[in-house]
Amino acid sequence: MIMIVDYGMGNLRSVEKAFHKLGYSAQISSQPNDVKKAQGLVLPGVGAFKDCIENLKKMGLIESLVEFIHSGKPFLGICLGYQILFTESEEFGPCPGLGIFKGKVKRFPEDMPDPDAEKGGVLKVPHMGWNQIWIVKEHPVLEGIPSGSYFYFVHSYYVEPEDKAIIATETEYGIKFASSIAYENIFACQFHPEKSQRRGLKLLDNFAKLVYKKIRNV
């Protein structure tokens, strides 16, 4: 069973429907015991970093979430569910994350030149819409997805990992940033696969295949 974590912030139904469309069983839950028993876990999220951490604490999900991440079972973080894996975010002042990886979540600069605009134009924040991902590290979740594929983004903050070796894809929006990371059982991305049509469904299908492969090998 693929479990989608409900902590009051996230595009839950779209993620659930995407897995169902692909023919996989997926369930939404906010219960810590369900998180612990899941065979594959998806942590989606939209909104503010601090609110996300506070909601997870209030619902008693931090311990079960960290325990799952360290279990070796497939984990997928999406957008805010990617950002909170790191040490801290500068959103609304320093706020500690889960600390699974060392690194900071930073806001895009307000004065990034827009290469497609007339002289003096700047890129808008948030970064919203379709953009390319460039693969820098192969991973099963990215299998069959060509480097340069377009995915859908909505965010004002980006992750800056200390360990560059975990970066799986990069994207350019004024600056080059880590649009996904991969390490052992963990894959997490800034973009939204559930909103990214064919390529997004391929990524979710790859993740689900890892989950069921793990189940068969247990």
Residues marked active site are found at 79, 192, 194
Which structure tokens are listed for 61? 């999900």
List for the chain the helix, strand, coil content (%; round to 5). Answer: 30, 35, 35
35 and 12 Cβ atoms separated by less than 8 Å: no
Tokens of 77: 């973080």
Q: Is 133 exposed, middle or buried (0-12, 13-18, 19+ CB in 10 A)?
A: buried
What residue has token string 């002289």? 119
Closest listed residue to residue 101, CA positions, set 178, 209, 35? 178
For residues 211 and 74, the answer to whether their CB atoms sit within 8 Å is yes
- Residue 89 neighbours by CB under 8 Å, 6+ apart: 49, 50, 83, 95, 97, 104, 105, 157
